[in-house]
Amino acid sequence: MLTAEQIVAAQKANIETLFGLTQKAFEGVEKLVELNLQATKAALAESANSTQALLSVKDAQELLALQTSLLQPMAEKTVAYSRHLYDIASGTSAEFTKAAEANAVDAQKKIMAVVDNASKNAPAGSETAVAVIKSAVSAANNAMESVQKAVKQATEMAEANFNTVTATAVNATKTAAAKKR
């Protein structure tokens, strides 16, 4: 049986975890706001520079050259912004995943402790029922570990795909810019 002290300790741990995760979420939002401010400032400055360059264009050939020179850096900056955005999101997500995994391990230990305690105090002849309960808990733990591994693999695959798409986009932009020259 759980004692009042154990229940209070569990509640305290849950509240500490909640506040820790809330802090991580706010840190993620702060990073996102900072990234967007930097991107906005850079976009405004580049817009002013581009406008001045456009106003100084003398003919169509110079306009085409200017457009080509602006295309590649803009694509690279978009890719860099997307990468920063992805890093912020995945970093925050990793913190939540780590906390969830830690809580799951703790919960598994507590469940096994309750089952072990119950088996010690179980009446004679209930060994089969206790074994079935232990087997079910073990199967649930194994299933959770399999899901966690699958999620990690999917995340790694998504990141690899993101990197591939990013590299392809940058290379396509470089190739297109080179052809226009």
The secondary structure of 8-63 as a DSSP string is HHHHHHHHHHHHHHHHHHHHHHHHHHHHHHHHHHHHHHHHHHHHHHHHT--SHHHH
pLDDT of residue 1 exceeding 60: no
Q: Which residues contact 97 (CB under 8 A, 6 or more apart)?
A: 151
pLDDT top residue among 57 and 114: 57
- The DSSP symbol for 123 reads P
What's the pLDDT at 33? Answer: 92
Residue 83 CA, chain-centre distance (Å), reads 12
Let me know how many helices (H) and strands (E) the chain has, helices first. Answer: 3, 0
Residue with more model confidence, 17 or 122 = 17
Query: For residue 94, is pLDDT > 80?
Result: yes
pLDDT at 85 over 60: yes
Q: What is the pLDDT of residue 177?
A: 61
- Is the pLDDT score of 29 beyond 70? yes
Lowest mean pLDDT among 6-15, 47-56, 111-120: 111-120
**Banded pLDDT at 17 (limits 50, 70, 90):** confident
**Residue ranges per domain, the chain?**
4-180
Q: What is the pTM of this model?
A: 0.60
Cα 117 from chain centroid (whole Å): 39
pLDDT of residue 180: 59
